A and B are shown apart, each in its own frame.
Chain A
Amino acid sequence: MADIAADGYVPERDESGALTTVDGTPLKISLRKSQRRAKRRAFYLVVPLLAFLFITFTIPIVGMIVRSVYNPEVANYLPETSAAIGDWDGEELPPEKVFAAMAADMEVGLENRTIGRAAGRINREIPGARSLVMGTARHVDEMQPPYREAFLEEDEDWSDLELWRLLKRETRLITPAYYLLALDFEYTPRGDIVERPEIYQVYRLLFIRTAWMSIVITGACLLLGYPVAHLLATLPLRTSNLLMILVLLPFWTSLLVRTSAWMVLLQQEGVVNDLLVWAGIINDNGRIRMIYNQLGTIIAMTHILLPFMILPLYSVMKTIPPSYMRAARSLGANQFTAFVKVYMPLTIPGLAAGVLLVFILAIGYYITPALVGGESGIFISNLIASNMQGTSAQLKLASALATILLVLVLFFYWLFNKLVGVDRLKFG
């Protein structure tokens, strides 16, 4: 009997003849149970980190996404007006009750000092509305009903229907306005979505530029990384370990240090220009501007991201046996054909990993473009950062821009995971 162990142990069986454990449970169930237990145990080990990340990473990001659509200023700081304006048809000047509600809101808002926030929100859409609201609010305690006349007497801009339509629109607590802005659209006080005038368009351009420059940087990394990875993979181990240090040292060196090194090298009074002048290639007045523009960003970022291309390529190339190339050559292929037809296809997994990794990291860059990018070399991250330091409306715009960027990055991350698998990521 095959299932009798060498020591003469006889497995237990129940009446139907199925295998059981000592206490009589069928083996299948017992096995499944123990597997489930093992699964649970494995999962318990991951729980602390998962829970930690959920609280300190996922929740904050969800909060940011919520903020990008949250629009409380008019609804919360002009509550009476918001309630009263609901059944106004938007065709002619609102009735007295709306003006009276506005007067009441202003009085409360002035006391709580919240009126400025509502005014700021409206001013974001209609420049000058801040002065109008604040100016009237300062005198509202001296006004007598009927408020409509009193308001118009204070400032005739209160007869502007656009202003009231805007107020009505902004009573909604959720708004897509910041996403529209982030894509260079806006919507009119009546609620139609239109493209912004060309002079205000900037974000789409920046998204496209960020993507385009990231592609260029990824391409440059591939161009420089591929031959180096190949060399490292084919040299004797001792030599390649030594040369590997030249790749790993930059990898381990602070991004800020490397960026400042490029600032030193590339500025007009810097080392590279000095060398060119000394070599007589350019004259002292013709120093080349290599920094504070796109070129600066591309050079510095290519340098910073290059190890992320070389390492995955190298780890794949190392596994390709040299005999493959020799076989191709012996079958009559010349070196070039053998390389293109045999070697290159085998490196595709490393290539995909390197390209996606470099691209994903590049499109989110902030520090390097901020320091060496000047005006033409900045990325969308830089606009997110500068909006984060502005008015509260700009803060929400920053959240919307960040959410769009996040969606883009997560898409490429998903692609990476699908094509390469995150568990294949390794360092050093």
Chain B
Amino acid sequence: MALPTYAGPLERTWYYSYRVICAAIFIFLIVPIVVIVPLSFNAQPYFTFTKEMLSFDPDGYSLRWYEELLSSREWMRAIGNSFFIAISATIISTTLGTLAALGLSRPNMPAKGFITAVLISPMIVPLIITAAALFSFYARLDLANSYFSIIMAHVVLGTPFVVITVTASLSGFDQQLIRAAQSLGANQVTTFFKVILPLLLPGVVAGALFAFITSLDEVVVVLFLAGPEQVTMTVRMFSGLREEISPTILALATILVAISILLLSSMELLRRRSERQRGMSPG
């Protein structure tokens, strides 16, 4: 959207102020995430920049909150729980979600709109309602305070993302390719592994990443379903934030931001790869 040469002074002013406004919004988006990173290295137990920090005095910075986090048995246990639950939930929801997406993308899927709406609904229903419902449900089944109930709950919450991402990656899928493969003598199994899967894979991996991060970040359901053994890092973080915000929490927050950056980069790579594969991207 370059400025046209015939632009008048008013338009010129607007053009630049528009860019300034957009820059301000981008700053609003990114600053909160950026700000916690240096603060997690604060040598003092404060949540604001000390004089030493602002003058880049090395004494103003330290790793003490990371040490505290990593040396705490309870935090480490909570982090272990988070990953155990997230990995288990991701495997199940990716499998179920991919199968469903394959069905939904078939041209002759009956009641497609309605079924999609049902499959996506866990993403829309407020978490507190899901938590309230699941809490009583699993309590009655004698399964509250178990890894099983939390993993099942996170499968429910993760599948919509898998369904959406895989369906989206299949929407650009040329059904002719299947017929082409079969007419060239491939059987159904070969077609699936040699043609469908490679094209599907970026979507499946993206869906899995979504399901993983959804489970890793989830607080509300775990808050109500977890017993002492299943407490996850986000639940500990939430109770910590309610009491007093300690820099240990900022250290964990920084680690979580790093994980997000990692996942986001993998997503970008996947997207580029799949676009190249389909010849949709110029570069």
Contact = CB atoms under 8 A, between A and B. Distances in A.
Interface size class of A (residues with CB under 8 A): 35 or more
Contacts of A381: 126, 128
A428 B206 contact: yes
A267 interface: yes
B25 interface: yes
Interface string B39-53: 100000011110000
A231 B21 CA distance: 11
Contacts of B68: none
A406 B1 contact: no
Contact of B155 (A52, A63, A248, A370): A52
A228 B26 contact: yes
Contacts of A56: 134, 152-153, 155-156
A77 B219 CA distance: 37
B181 interface: no
B108 A61 contact: no
B180 interface: no
B192 to A, nearest CB: 12
A57 interface: yes
Interface string B254-277: 001100110110011001000000
Interface of B is mostly: helix
Interface residues of B, number: 96
B62 interface: no
B100 A46 contact: yes
Interface in A190-241: 224, 227-228, 231, 234-235, 237
A46 B115 contact: yes
Contacts of B109: 39, 42-43, 46
Given A235-B1, A264-B35, A267-B47, A38 B132 contact: no
A294 B126 CA distance: 20
Interface stretch (B71-79, B116-124, B193-201): B116-124
A361 B137 CA distance: 24
Interface of B: 1, 11, 14, 18-19, 21-22, 25-26, 28-33, 35-36, 39, 46-49, 96-97, 99-100, 102-104, 106, 108-110, 112-113, 115-122, 124-130, 132-138, 140, 152-153, 155-156, 159, 161, 163-165, 167-168, 206, 210, 213, 216-217, 219-220, 224, 234, 237-238, 241-242, 245, 249-250, 253, 256-257, 260-261, 263-264, 267-268, 271, 282
Interface of A: 35, 38-39, 41-46, 48-50, 52-53, 56-57, 59-61, 63-64, 67, 224, 227-228, 231, 234-235, 237, 243, 245-250, 252-265, 267, 269-271, 274, 303, 306-307, 322, 335, 360-361, 363-367, 370-371, 381, 384-385, 388, 398-399, 402, 405-406, 409-410, 413, 417, 421-423, 425-428
